[in-house]
């Protein structure tokens, strides 16, 4: 259940649009853990995703990254945008099969809980779907929203 909650929160973060940027107060131990891990991070932007889950977007070495921390300052996941060309074979095959006729708008490599998976956002004429695809090709639909709603 914890795994699903983290996946859902990450999916919401990927598709959420912020129209106003409010200053987010982040506990010093969380900021310290982030700075220790990503000392060369550029332009970190924090947000609170859910009770006890913090998201920071930043750039490092020219790459857009996202890190997620719990209240204790432990990193629970790390994500970066990837292209379809850089995916493991089974992940690419699953995308081709499950999202035939859809436009893939975003792919995030998600590393957390000692595993790597891919958060894929795909859109067709009916709905936008966010799915988590595992390196073995397994898929878990995280969220599906009908277009226009």
76 with 110, same domain: the answer is: no
Q: Per-residue pLDDT averaged across 121-126, rounded?
A: 95
Q: How far is residue 58's CA from residue 126's CA, in Å, rounded to a whole number?
A: 33
Domain containing 54 equals: 1-80
Q: Is the pLDDT score of 39 beyond 90?
A: yes
Q: How far is residue 133's CA from residue 87's CA, in Å, rounded to a whole number?
A: 11
90 with 141, same domain: the answer is: yes
- The tens digit of pLDDT for each residue in 48-64 reads 988 889 999 999 998 89
pTM, two decimals, is 0.75
Q: How far is residue 35's CA from residue 93's CA, in Å, rounded to a whole number?
A: 37
69 with 93, same domain: the answer is: no
Q: How far is residue 66's CA from residue 59's CA, in Å, rounded to a whole number?
A: 9
- The tens digit of pLDDT for each residue in 65-105 reads 999 999 999 999 999 999 999 999 999 999 999 999 999 99
Q: For residues 143 and 120, is the Cβ–Cβ distance under 8 A? A: no
Q: Per-residue pLDDT averaged across 101-116, rounded?
A: 93
60 with 19, same domain: the answer is: yes
71 with 15, same domain: the answer is: yes
89 with 76, same domain: the answer is: no
Nearest Cα neighbor of 140 from 128, 148, 127, 130 is 130
17 with 68, same domain: the answer is: yes
Number of structural domains the chain divides into: 2
- The tens digit of pLDDT for each residue in 5-24 reads 455 455 545 544 333 456 67
92 with 131, same domain: the answer is: yes
């Amino acid at each position: 259940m914890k795994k699903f909650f983290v996946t859902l929160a990450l999916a919401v973060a990927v598709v959420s649009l912020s129209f106003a940027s409010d200053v987010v107060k982040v506990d010093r131990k969380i900021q310290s853990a982030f700075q220790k891990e990503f000392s060369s991070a550029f332009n970190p932007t924090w947000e609170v995703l859910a009770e006890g889950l913090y998201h920071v977007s930043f750039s490092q070495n020219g790459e857009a990254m996202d890190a997620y921390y719990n209240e204790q300052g432990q990193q629970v996941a790390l994500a970066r945008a990837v292209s379809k060309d850089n995916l493991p074979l089974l992940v690419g095959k699953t995308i081709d099969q499950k999202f035939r006729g859809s436009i893939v708008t975003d792919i995030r490599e998600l590393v957390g809980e000692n595993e790597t998976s891919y958060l894929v956002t795909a859109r067709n004429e009916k709905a936008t779907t966010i799915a988590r695809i595992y390196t073995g090709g397994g898929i878990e639909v995280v969220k599906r929203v009908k277009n226009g709603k």
